[in-house]
Every structure is written in structure tokens, then in C-alpha cells.
Amino acid sequence: MASLTSIATPYRSSTYPSSSQALRVKLTGNTLFSAGVRSPASSSSSSSFLTIRSAATKPDKPAAEVDWRQKRELLLEKRVRSVDVKEALRLQKENNFVILDVRPEAEYKEGHPPGAINVEMYRLIREWTPWDIARRLGFAFFGIFSGTEENPEFIQSVEAKLDKEAKIIVACSSAGTMKPTQNLPEGQQSRSLIAAYVLVLNGYKNVFHLEGGIYTWSKEGLPIESEED
């Protein structure tokens, strides 16, 4: 089973195999043979390479999978600014800013800033194409049985709720940062920064980012409301 699930291991590589390409995965020890998997003979080492033919061609790379350096450059070019949680609350109250919570709906319902709008940046994998099945198996390989994918309806859902002139503060759980540090010279991406990138890419002009995310909002004792199913 391990060799089959390796086809969808969620690596951070920016390249994916097409239907005519092979993904080479290094495994330790003996491997199991499954449909579509072959193992070259290896007598000199306990490690072997498996050549796995992908079951389907991966769709074109979505905006969310663009390299973080490119995203950061555009965010800085478009003057997307990070605001702390107390400033975000003030802007929401005094300047008609909207907090766009891009966490999964279940997390949003557990607790969110009052008045925040929820549009998931990522959602549970819904389809059952060969590629989606492979991705489900890849997540399962790591013990994750609720694999997610970029929400293909994200921008359409936002456009249905907010016009391009809206003043938006994008929030997720703990957020990333565009600020360079010694360990992270280019900052660190997050769901909210990815969402901010997608928004400015689609013509939104007043996009801000919630520094510290909903975690910091809650930790600072700012208002939180929940929703019952």
C-alpha cells in the first residue's frame, strides 16, 4: 500500500507528473507491488526507487500554487499591508472594513470576529477523479483523512459578497507574514496571504492582511462569536 500512496504524497515541489511522466519516490525496505507500480531491481541497498505512473494529468497550476516569492513581490507591489488585531477591530468599527475569514467553515463556526464573512480558501477534496483519488491516498499516507484542495470557487464566492472597491482584511488561523526575519528572509506564506494574493490578482484594490490571525485575535480577548449548526 505504501508504494501506491506515494503517488500523491503532498510534497512542496512546484512540479507534478503529467500522464506521460513518472514520479520517482525513494522508499526504505521492501515494497509492495500494486497496479501501475514497478520496482527496479536493487541488490546493493535496502533502499529502492519506485517509478509510479500518474493516474491522470494534474490540472493547470492554480494561483495558490505560485511560488511564494512571486506572491510576496506582488503583494508588496500592490501595497498590501498587514494590520494587527486591535487596528483591524478599529478599522472594522470605524471605517467599514470587512474581515474576510478564509478558514474552513467548521473553524469559522467555532469562533470568528463578529461580522466576519467566511469564504474558504481551501476545502475538503470533493471529486473522485483519478487525480483526486491519488491525492486522497497521499494525505492518508501521512494519517490525514480529510485532505484539502484549493477552493476553485473562492474568487467567485468573494465577488458575490464583496465588490472590487471593498476594504478587506483577510484572516486565517495564525497567519503568515511578509516581514523578513533572520530565519525567514522572505517571510512566511499562509492561507490568508495566499487569499490576499488571489484577491489582488483579480482586481481587488483595498486588501489588508490580519497579522497573527484569529489565534491572536482570540488571545488578545477581542470579541468572538460562534454559530450553532
**Residue 182: how many other CB atoms lie within 10 Å:** 5
Separation CA 81–CA 78 (nearest Å): 9
Q: By C-alpha distance, which of 118, 117, 123 is closest to 135?
A: 123
List pLDDT tens digits, range 68-109.
Answer: 899 999 999 999 999 999 999 999 999 999 999 999 998 999
List pLDDT tens digits, range 106-127.
Answer: 899 999 999 999 999 976 655 5
Q: What CATH superfamily is the domain 65-121+151-220?
A: Rhodanese-like domain (3.40.250.10)
Separation CA 208–CA 40 (nearest Å): 52
What cell does 189 get? 506564506
Strands annotated E in 69-172: 81-83, 98-101, 117-118, 122-124, 148-150, 167-171
Q: Where in the sequence numbering do the catalytic residues fall? A: 172
